[in-house]
Amino acid sequence: MDALDILADLENVIPFFQPIFSAEEHSVVAYEVLGRYKSEGNIISLGPFFQDDQIPDEYKFEVDQIVVSKALEKALNLDDHVKIFLNRNADLLMYGHGEPFLQELLEFEKRGIRLSRIVLEISEQNYTGDFDQLDHLLQYYRTYGIQIAIARIDSAKNYFQRIGEIEPDILKVNLEALKSTSTGTNFNDVLFTLSLLARKIGATLLFENIEMSYQLQFAWKNGGRYYQGYYLHPPEAEFIQGDMLKERLKEKFHDFISYEKRKLEAVYTTAEFFQIKVQEIVIKNRKTSYEDLFQALIKELDQIAFRMYVCDEDGFQKSVNIFKEKNDWITQAQYLNKNWSWRPYFLENIIKMRNERKGILSDLYSDIETGETIRTFSFPMNGEEYLFIDISYQYLFEHEQLL
């Protein structure tokens, strides 16, 4: 569709609304406003119009204001707690130094829409302007109660840096990457980092593009508070009944909870198994050398573990590595005296083991050297020495609830 055709027919520029559901209430807590154009009985997305670099910003702004104005007009009849997500790329947001957009919102505030219900969903994709000015504008909007959501940033290279600078209220996570098996593992790792960062800065995670049940489960498991996508509900010209999916989501989350509890029970049972087994071996070999201890452990854990070593409470390795290479256990003397205190949770786990006098089974993580997904069982041998046993992916795979 030609841009001039749209500009000459603004009457047929309309908003569509995609509902956003809450994990807490299992109901609609917000709507994202999406631009559409009616043409000869067809509904066409205005996404390509707004993303076209050849179209001047003043044309885009005019069309966007029509979408926003019509959307907020309808939102006057919404429940007062429901939020409205408005999309803006950074270039368009800076049009007129951001003042025309704010004035439009202030007009609707006079008519009853609190600005604290507005979520500005900002995309910095291809933005070439002054980031300091953009950040000042976002902070200025915040003084009116407007919340900030980050949708897309120009590159992964500066993604976390920009999150730190903007400190958004909401982080949107696009689950499209889950469709690709090649990006699945890396995506999990990045998302884990993102969820930690969100928690640190007090941001909420919103997962979008949920198209299948397993994506909803993934979003729930990874700390998603809000959910959006065709699996839940497609965009429509009208608002939907807020609790229309309440029972369905309640059943879904019950299934997710049951599955996760079974996995946690398996982890707990496995930790108890290692605690009893390793404690028995360590007690029997308390006066022997590290080499004799490892040989005793290998006899019991040959099909379970692939690496063992001993550290002191400061993280210095007191023994060599005993490493399983194919079917043989080899000695890796180069690891003697290396320090591992820099690893996440290392010292925290040492203190926990020392105080509770029992072992810890780690969460899943990627081994630095093998690249495989593993877990580690750590055990306090005495007040000064701590045994670490790395559990192979093969064993975890055979006990899939540990993955």
Tens place of pLDDT for every residue, the chain, 403 residues?
A: 688 889 999 999 999 999 999 999 999 999 999 999 998 889 999 999 998 889 998 999 999 999 999 999 999 999 999 999 999 989 889 999 999 999 999 999 999 999 999 999 998 877 888 899 999 999 999 999 999 999 764 445 567 788 888 889 999 998 886 665 555 556 777 777 788 888 888 999 999 999 999 999 999 998 999 999 999 999 999 999 999 999 999 999 999 999 999 999 999 999 999 999 999 999 999 999 999 999 999 999 999 999 999 999 999 999 999 999 988 999 999 999 999 999 988 999 999 999 999 999 999 988 989 989 999 999 999 989 999 999 999 999 999 899 8
Q: Rounded to the nearest 10 degrees, how much is the dihedral formed by the CA atoms of 216, 221, 223, 224?
A: 10
Residue 220 DSSP symbol = H
Neighbours of 112 (CB within 10 A): 10
In the chain, which segments carry CATH 3.30.450.20? 260-402
Which region, left, alpha or beta, applies to residue 372 given φ > 0 means left and ψ of -120 to 50 means alpha? beta
Instruction: Please give the class, per CATH, of domain 3-236.
Output: alpha beta
In the chain, which segments carry CATH 3.20.20.450? 3-236
d(CA 342, CA 363): 17
Statement: 260-402 belongs to CATH 3.30.450.20 = yes
CB of 43 within 8 A of CB of 36?
yes
Helix (H, G, I), strand (E, B) or coil at 147: strand
Distances (CA, A) of 30 to 25, 118, 227, 305, 320: 12, 10, 10, 48, 57
CB of 386 within 8 A of CB of 376?
no
- CA angle 130-143-95, nearest 5°? 35
Residue 262: closest CA among 120, 402, 67, 132: 402
d(CA 233, CA 5): 30
